[in-house]
Amino acid sequence: MIRLFSYHFVPLNKLTSIFLLIDIIILSILIIYFLLGIASINTLTTIELLELLLRTKKEALNGMSKTDKHWDIGYLSAIIEYLAANRDLYSIKLFGFTINQSLILNLSITMLVGVIASAFSLIEKGSSNID
């Protein structure tokens, strides 16, 4: 980000600007790839864990006879309700934001707009130098 800001304030030659733009593109791709990994971990720890617990509860209820006590099922139900209510508490956060697909989409669009703006600025500087 520092390179992106310094790009607009410090006059640089065209070749250095192109290399900085390529560097920004590569770093943006790596950041998005890293965030996608975190989002998949969040999905595994919240949604799929709840699905696994619900499936376990269903299998336990199907395998239980009428004389068995339901103490373990009550505990399992309480755990499921707690995890469903506090899903954001157990997810990975970055700067206070829960990393999910919508946040990654917003960041990707922001990075893409920044790269396109830098490219247009570079093209505009190139065309003004010709005149």
Least confident window among 33-37, 47-51, 65-69, 112-116? 65-69
The per-residue pLDDT for range 69-123, each reduced to its tens digit, is 566 677 778 778 888 787 777 788 888 888 888 889 999 999 899 888 888 877 7
Would you kindly state where each structural domain of the chain is located, as residue ranges? 14-130
The per-residue pLDDT for range 2-11, each reduced to its tens digit, is 555 555 555 5
Predicted model pTM = 0.65
Print burial letters for 44-78: b (CB count within 10 Å at least 16), e (below 16).
Answer: eebeeeeeebeeebeeeeeeeeeeeeeeeeeebee
pLDDT at 29 over 80: yes
